[in-house]
Structure 1
Amino acid sequence: MRTVCLTWAKLAFPIAGKVSINGDMLIIWLQLAFCASVIAIAGSRLSFYGDVIADKTGLSGNWIGMILLASVTSLPELITGISASALANAPNIAAGNVLGSCLVNLAMLVVIDFLHNRESFYRRASRNHILSAGFGVLLVSFIGISILFGSMTAELAIGHVGIQSFIIVMLYAFAIRTVLVHEREQRKDFSEAVADRYPHLTLSGALIGYSLAASVVVAAGIWLPFVGTRLAEVMGWNGSFVGALLIAGATTLPELAVTISSIRIGALDMAIANLLGSNLFNTTILAVDDLFYLNGPIYSNVSPAHAFSALSAAAMTGLAVIGLASPPAKRLMRSMGWVSIGMLSIYILNAYVLFYHAQ
């Protein structure tokens, strides 16, 4: 019986090489499961305390999701990108992590739509998300163009940092300011007294709880990419695919946990703002990676396949804008709208291109 089990395991994991099926590989999978479990539990508390902070301060769920939650849940991507650029000299991992994380975040909108089985979640979402999504299209498109023409613009670098990185940071700052000013004006036009939904909690207690949950999410999120990298080495996958799908999927687990938890407590706009805000924050991570990558502008040293990922992210975000501006009235197969099906199709196509054609 033991021989049969080992034979099946070798067929199931043919590229595992010399790694013991019952030893190292099992430990790696257990570490991955442990990280995911810790992030899921801490992420649920993060969403809860974020909602409490929004209630106590009068800030909108959009603001909390876009700034507070997005900055915390994106820290694993930041640490992973710096490590890949400065220590591992792996620009493809760094670029793939950023763009892949954007794609995974957008794919989570499909998950949200699927969980809202009665009607499309776009019909309940705030139209204020259109502005942040529009800036997301602008930033990821600019990154895609920077990668395509990176070798032609290498001489425009300031030191070893590409001029594109400075433009990305300025665009991000302008986007955040514009979104927050717009929302502040919207709230002036519409305000109402809302009863305290958490009378048994204080703002200071919520801030402490939020900080503790954020610390756990960040700690587990920082460890997670290293586990994912080790697993990728065992499986023998290429750098672009690993960065854009495996590592990106690992580092976006905090976003997934926060998104699902936010939906469960009824904070839909906070969940959407977290995903779109994380994508805006992620684009600046590539600029930070460029700073730590000392072999010239990172845009001219990565695979052109990442430009396809940027194009895919822009197209998926564009579909999200359409869904927010004109919510689908009908659901196909009673599961999701045509906007979500289009986004899912683009995500699968991008995964196929990276797996079979990236280097």
Structure 2
Amino acid sequence: MPPNDLAFAARERLGYSVEGLDRGSPLQTDIDRLRQGGVGGQFWSVFAPSELPPVDTVQYTLEQIDFVYRLIARYPETFRFARTGDDVRRSWDDGKVASLIGAEGGNSIGGSLAVLRVLARLGLRYMTLTRNYNVDWADSATDEPVHHGLSDFGRDVVREMNRLGVLVDLSHVSADTMRDAISVSQEPVIFSHSSCFSVCAHPRNVPDDVLASLSGNGGVVMVAFVPQFVDADYHAWFDGGGVGTKPRVTVQHVADHVDHAREVAGLEHIGFGSDYDGCDDFPVDMADVVGFAPLLDELATRGWSAPDLAKLMGGNVLRVLDETSAASVGAIG
């Protein structure tokens, strides 16, 4: 159940229209390609640019949640809203794509725990604590450190997320924020779209000590497919302004991160993060949501069994949903 930025992409390119998403969409996601990729669940990610004032970030977030609801209503034969692990299983049993909501960036709550509670009632199941820039209460991986982790209010945000059954997502945050949040959280955390720092030293990736801590926390790292997170040569080329020949990134590069995450974090603590419709470039043969299929084939050639792949494709995240479903349902009241 990887995250997917379709809602924001639809805002930017389709004016939030849900029409024409069955096949042939100009985006990286449509129903036909989801089926080809064997995708049975998605966290539909909603987010607002970091530079917006708080009132606008809340509006952006609510508009995209509305898009997710309208998407599900427009294609009820394909999508079903899901909040709990059992909701996901029922969707799978009926051949539908389980549709959950995640917010990418703590700016989505506008600095308000009350807004967080409202979003939880609407079905928010994870929130990334930052995006590309710091928020007032947490440091981003790609900004100058201010808090050196979480502020006191940031710790309160984590505790309230635990109470509401909103998963703490540590993609995008600094390594100090990762460690701080894991020490505070009483529930499993996730990394919704990050890769392994030891394989590619990008600041968005997860250091080995943090990966190793997931076995104690119960969390899951969901490996991203973004080329600059996956391959060191591409990372250097991208940061250098894209001058010269673009390095070739393949499914094998992504599989190397999956293998490393398994070695350090353990089989029970890894998943797929992808980041489709959140990035313009992807590895060869992985340009859209069909790209899950060649990755599964590559891992199978490396000796991954069918039960192992099932955990990777959603089983591990489903476990985390199960452990937090009661709190999420309680947030409705």
Structures share fold, TM-score greater than 0.5: no
- Greater relative contact order, per chain length (Cα 8 Å cut-off, separation 6+): 1
Structure with the higher helix share, 1 or 2:
1
Structure with the higher strand share, 1 or 2:
2
Q: Determine which structure has more spread, i.e. the larger CA radius of gyration.
A: 1
TM-score band w.r.t. shorter chain: under 0.3
TM-score (norm 2): 0.25
